[in-house]
């Protein structure tokens, strides 16, 4: 199956990588636009909007992390970062800045295409929302201070959340009413911290239910949609 409608912008200062990747993707029916640096990328974005950007981190002038940060403020285009094996810190920073995925060099073009398809499927299924890093939200008798990671019940008693539970709760609230698969929840939380990778989503949900639900066996706040994933079922009211 070809992705005849997919348009990928490849940004890399290495012309050999740009051209070889473009040749492979073009054979697969993907439209490719090439840029060697941030200035050329900006010129391309002025005339057209790609479906996805493949962005190298290590480039002279403005590097990929700076470009990623800037694009997150001005565009909502999915980004896959290209990194060297030794750039673990840069990969983490890139994900925190909002990149959707990364590949380490050298990589197989076939894998990049598979990841591009996966990223685009997720971006089309989920609204690209700005993460809620501050504010207070009320739901089902609870008051949740997002920045303080503090949640208080109607009786005034506070409940302590682990970092993983906090990330999961914020992710579900941000997508209130939408069913999120386990893969989507992992993808959404990935750019913030890594605790949720180390434990299963199901275990985190069970812990949250024991802390928040009146009857964890019959949950009304974090609802299971069988075969689909989890959904935040309570109505949220945000305060500044």
CB 78 within 8 A of CB 119: yes
Is residue 107 domain-shared with residue 142, that is, in the same domain? no
Helices (H), the chain: 15-27, 38-47, 64-74, 88-96, 109-125, 163-174, 182-190, 201-212
* Mean pLDDT, range 67-91, rounded to an integer: 81
Is residue 116 domain-shared with residue 149, that is, in the same domain? no
Structurally, the chain folds into a number of domains equal to 2
Is residue 85 domain-shared with residue 175, that is, in the same domain? no
pLDDT confidence band for 111 (50 / 70 / 90): very high
Q: Which of 101, 125, 149 is the last residue before a domain boundary?
A: 125
Q: Is the pLDDT of residue 209 over 70?
A: yes
CA distances from 190 to 98, 181, 182, 220 (A): 9, 14, 12, 26
Strands 142-145 and 52-56: unpaired
Q: Is the pLDDT of residue 94 over 80?
A: no
Give residue 129's pLDDT. Answer: 46
In a domain, 151, yes or no: yes
* Mean pLDDT, range 37-46, rounded to an integer: 91
SS3 call for 50: coil
In a domain, 131, yes or no: no
Q: Is the pLDDT of residue 20 over 90?
A: yes
Q: Which domain holds residue 220?
A: 136-239
> Structure tokens of 57?
């981190």
Q: Which of 125, 145, 179 is the last residue before a domain boundary?
A: 125
In a domain, 130, yes or no: no
Q: Which residue did the predictor score with more confidence, 167 or 90? A: 167
- Which of 130-144, 193-207, 211-225 has the least mean pLDDT? 193-207
Q: 168-203: per-residue pLDDT in tens?
A: 898 888 888 888 887 778 766 654 444 444 457 888
Give residue 197's pLDDT. Answer: 46
Is residue 11 domain-shared with residue 120, that is, in the same domain? yes
Find the farthest-apart pair of alpha carbons in the chain and give their distance in angstroms, rounded: 64
Domain with residue 121: its CATH number is 3.40.50.2300
pLDDT confidence band for 125 (50 / 70 / 90): low
Strand partners, 231: 179, 223
């Amino acid at each position: 199956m070809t992705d005849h409608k997919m348009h990928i912008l490849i940004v890399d200062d290495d012309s050999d990588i740009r051209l070889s990747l473009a040749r492979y993707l073009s054979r697969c029916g993907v439209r490719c636009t090439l840029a060697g640096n941030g200035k050329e990328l900006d010129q391309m974005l002025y005339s057209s909007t790609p479906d996805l950007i493949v962005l190298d981190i290590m480039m002279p002038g403005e590097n990929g992390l700076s470009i990623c940060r800037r694009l997150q403020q001005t565009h909502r285009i999915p980004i896959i970062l290209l990194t060297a094996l030794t750039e673990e810190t840069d990969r983490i920073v890139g994900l925190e800045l909002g990149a959707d995925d990364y590949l380490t060099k050298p990589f197989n073009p076939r894998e990049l295409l598979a990841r591009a398809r996966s990223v685009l499927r997720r971006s089309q299924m989920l609204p690209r929302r700005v993460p809620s890093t501050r504010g207070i939200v009320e739901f089902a008798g609870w008051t949740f201070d997002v920045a303080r990671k503090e949640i208080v019940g109607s009786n005034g008693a506070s409940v302590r959340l682990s970092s993983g539970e906090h990330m999961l709760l914020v992710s579900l609230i941000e997508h209130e009413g939408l069913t999120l698969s386990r893969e989507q929840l992992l993808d959404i939380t990935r750019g913030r911290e890594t605790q949720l990778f180390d434990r299963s989503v199901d275990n985190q949900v069970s812990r949250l239910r024991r802390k928040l639900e009146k009857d964890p066996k019959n949950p009304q706040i974090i609802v299971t949609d069988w075969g689909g994933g989890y959904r935040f079922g309570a109505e949220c009211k945000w305060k500044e």
